Structure 1
Amino acid sequence: MNKISIMLADDHVVVRESIRKFLEDEDFFQVVGEAGDGESAINMAVKLKPKVVIMDIDMPVINGIEATRKIKKLCPECAVLILTAYDYEQYVYALPEVGASGYLLKDVSGRELVNATHAVCRGESVLHPAIAGKVLKRLGSIGKPEAENSDFLTGREKEVLILMAAGLKNKQIANKLFVSVRTVEAHMGNIYSKLGVNSRTEAILAAMKKGWISLNELNQASNSLNKNNIQ
């Protein structure tokens, strides 16, 4: 079986060791390289061409955002998953621009990291629920977002969009709505088309900017998921 190649970029050795252990406990993954600064991460990615780069933001020499930009320019086939302790809005808004496939905070569990890595390998994007909520608060603080186009979404598409923003994967959304994964994927395709985007991250951020998702709706969805422990 050909394993999925992963490269780690984090300036803390103990963090890299922990991530490596979580990933290599899975039969599907193999960590092929580790970098302790942004410049080394760029050079290593060009040399090794891993399927996924798991990237911290706060690193020496070149920060993770700029390193991601350069990696995606030099190795567009590499998926970059940001894993950081920082949830600053400017980093989140940079995601589509630099080409990152997702943004997770370091409070995620090992299983969540594994699932997210699988997701970006499939071409999906992931966004930590706390990030989505922070972006919504930011948008609310700078003025009421436009919402005149929200009628373009059907009721079910809106449900899928909110659950995406709350951090659920396709199978979890399907279980929550009592539909098939294929039906969820069809709804997601419609959402992408209506928003003019190509990924989960872009869809969530675009919907927030347009006011198609409210902070109250996201909080309600997250509370419901926590209460019911959706798998």
Structure 2
Amino acid sequence: MQPIRVLLADNHTLIRAGLRSLLESMEAVEVVAEASDGRAAIHLVKAHQPDVVLMDVAMPEMNGLEATARIVKEFPNTHVMILSMHANEEYVMQALQAGAMGYVLKDAGVAELELALKSISKGEAYLSPAVSKHVIADYVRRTGGESSTPSHLTPRQREILQLLVEGHSAKEIAARLVISIKTVETHRSQIMERLDIHDVAGLVRYAIRTGLVTADE
């Protein structure tokens, strides 16, 4: 039996170490690489071609949702499972829309994590029972309301929005993404126009509300 090859993506070193130890104690699971942000995860998926990526959502540089969307598009043989502390409908729906095959809470038991891994490695979707319960409850509560998600922004705009709210200047973003400062400023103007938000503080609040970044970053 071939081992399930796993890549860990989480910006907390101790969490990655704990997950690695836990996964390597499971039969037929091999951790092939670790990433501390979404951009690094994409590069490591290309290098190692893992079966499954265990992906955190809130990471610097590029968050887990954006990284998931790109991995799913560029590497169809690699499946993504989100590991998150959030069980509400908005987070889960964004993860599924990005192409994640599964969503497991960080307080899940070892048996559940192992079951999720085996299911997702075979191309079968998996949602934690607790997540399913919350998603249904949130959906019923919010039926008729509009969910605030950044889906009407392009991938590049979401990427630039995250870097902006993390405090990077237009010059730093341009250098990081290998584009001109003018292009960054054009994207920033378009983002503000699309969201009808015209100050950085408002962009930060929007990014936190939609899960693009977390308040403690």
TM-score class, shorter: 0.5 to 0.7
1:159 aligned residue = none
Length-normalised TM-score, structure 1: 0.59
Structure 1 stretches lacking a partner, 5+ long: 145-231
Contact 1:79–1:121 under 8 Å retained in 2: yes
Length-normalised TM-score, structure 2: 0.62
Change (3 A) 1:143 1:100: closer
1:130 aligns with 2:130: yes
1:87 aligned residue = 87
Deviations 1:5-63 (A, max 9, x none): 11000011111111111211123111000001111011111111100100000111111
How many angstroms does 1:100 deviate by? 0.6
In 2, Cα distance between equivalents of 1:137 and 1:23: 31
Deviations 1:116-136 (A, max 9, x none): 101111221111122222222
Contact 1:65–1:91 under 8 Å retained in 2: no
User: How do 1:25-104 residues align onto structure 2 when only pairs under 5 Å count?
Assistant: 25-104=25-104
Q: What count of residue pairs does the alignment treat as equivalent?
A: 144
Tell me which amino acid in the other structure corresponds to 2:137: K
SS in 1 for 2:61: coil
How many angstroms does 1:111 deviate by? 2.2
User: How do 1:194-209 residues align onto structure 2 when only pairs under 5 Å count?
Assistant: none
1:195 aligned residue = none
2:118 aligned residue = 118
Structure 2 stretches lacking a partner, 5+ long: 145-217
How many angstroms does 1:143 deviate by? 3.7
Contact 2:88–2:138 under 8 Å retained in 1: no
When the two chains are superposed, the root-mean-square deviation of aligned CA atoms in Å is 1.5
Q: Quick one: percent identity of the two aligned structures?
A: 38
SS in 2 for 1:135: helix
Contact 1:22–1:114 under 8 Å retained in 2: no
Moved over 4 A (4+): none
SS in 2 for 1:58: coil
